[in-house]
């Protein structure tokens, strides 16, 4: 096998799922993030406790598309999909997916913007809106309240006083 202990000598193969290395030191594929970096990102940016992911593995397929999976699988693996996409790396700012933050966003304690009903409806419909936010700019979790519980709506991008909805077209709804 190529890449025994040598960093940066294998390429990411587009159609294949490869399990993420545990730490950056274990990396054998150029540009691939490690499990540790992914878990740290969710903890640092959103306050999601690392142990949330203890029973999951992380995989890359496609350039920087990271998947989270709870089941059994060998690596590498050529299948249609494995668990769900959770994160985009290999770009300047990492970007979680809407479906993933709907799934685990209730664990988040940071970078969550709580929307009123009408704001939540606009967000779900894919609209951008002007609003105040005194936290970090960048990708954040938009949430609202449903029957007394915080419900994450998806990923938003906050810049220059504007919250942009990142809800994918096929997931947008007129509520």
Partner 1 sequence: MEPLERYRPIIDDFEAFIAACERPLGTAVRVNTIAASVEHTLDVLEEEGVAYEQADWNPRVLRLETDSPGSTWTSFHGYTHGQEEVSAVPPVVLDPQPGERVWDCCAAPGGKATQLAALMDDRGTVVANDSNLGRLSALRFNAERLGATSLLVTKSDARNYSMKRLSFDEFDRALVDVPCSCEGTIRKNPDALDEWSEGYVDSVSGIQKGILRRAIQTTREGGTVVYSTCTFAPEENEAVVQHALEEEDCRVVDFEVGLEHDPGLTEWQDRAFDASLEDAIRIYPHQNDTGGFFVAKLEVTA
Task: Rule CB under 8 A: choose which of 20, 29, 61, 85 binds partner 1.
Answer: 85
Asked if 80 touches partner 1 (CB under 8 A), the answer is yes
Buried residues in 1-34 as b, exposed as e (16+ CB within 10 A) = eeeeeeeeebebeeeebbbbbeeeeebbbeebbb
Asked if 14 touches partner 1 (CB under 8 A), the answer is no
| Number of neighbours of residue 108 by Cβ within 10 angstroms | 23
Task: Rule CB under 8 A: choose which of 16, 88, 95, 103 binds partner 1.
Answer: 103
Asked if 50 touches partner 1 (CB under 8 A), the answer is no
Asked if 78 touches partner 1 (CB under 8 A), the answer is yes
State the Cα–Cα distance between residues 153 and 69, nearest whole angstrom.
21
Q: What is the DSSP string of 106-135?
A: GG--SSEEEPPHHHHHHHHTT--EE----S
Q: How far apart are CB 161 and partner 1 at their closest, in Å?
A: 26
- Of 24-32, 40-48, 62-70, 155-163, which part binds partner 1 (CB under 8 A)? 62-70
Asked if 171 touches partner 1 (CB under 8 A), the answer is yes
Asked if 124 touches partner 1 (CB under 8 A), the answer is yes
The pair phi, psi for residue 119, each rounded to 5°, is -65, -40
List contacts with partner 1 (CB under 8 A).
55-56, 68-74, 77-85, 97, 99-100, 102-103, 124, 146-149, 151, 153, 170-171, 173-175
């Amino acid at each position: 096998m190529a890449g025994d202990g040598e960093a940066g000598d294998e390429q990411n193969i587009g159609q294949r799922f490869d399990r993420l290395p545990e730490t950056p030191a274990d990396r054998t594929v150029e540009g691939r993030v490690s499990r540790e970096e992914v878990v740290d990102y969710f903890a640092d940016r959103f306050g999601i406790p690392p142990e949330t992911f203890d029973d999951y593995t992380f995989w890359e397929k496609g350039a920087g598309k990271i998947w989270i999976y709870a089941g059994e699988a060998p690596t590498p693996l050529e299948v249609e999909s494995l668990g769900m996409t959770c994160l985009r790396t290999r770009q300047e700012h990492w970007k979680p997916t809407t479906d993933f933050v709907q799934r685990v966003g209730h664990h988040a304690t940071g970078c969550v913007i709580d929307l009123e009903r009408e704001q939540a409806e606009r967000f779900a419909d894919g609209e951008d809106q002007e609003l105040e936010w005194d936290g970090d700019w960048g990708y954040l979790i938009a949430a609202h309240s449903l029957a007394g519980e915080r419900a994450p709506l998806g990923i938003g991008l906050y810049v220059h006083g504007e919250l942009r909805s990142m809800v994918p077209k096929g997931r947008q709804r007129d509520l």
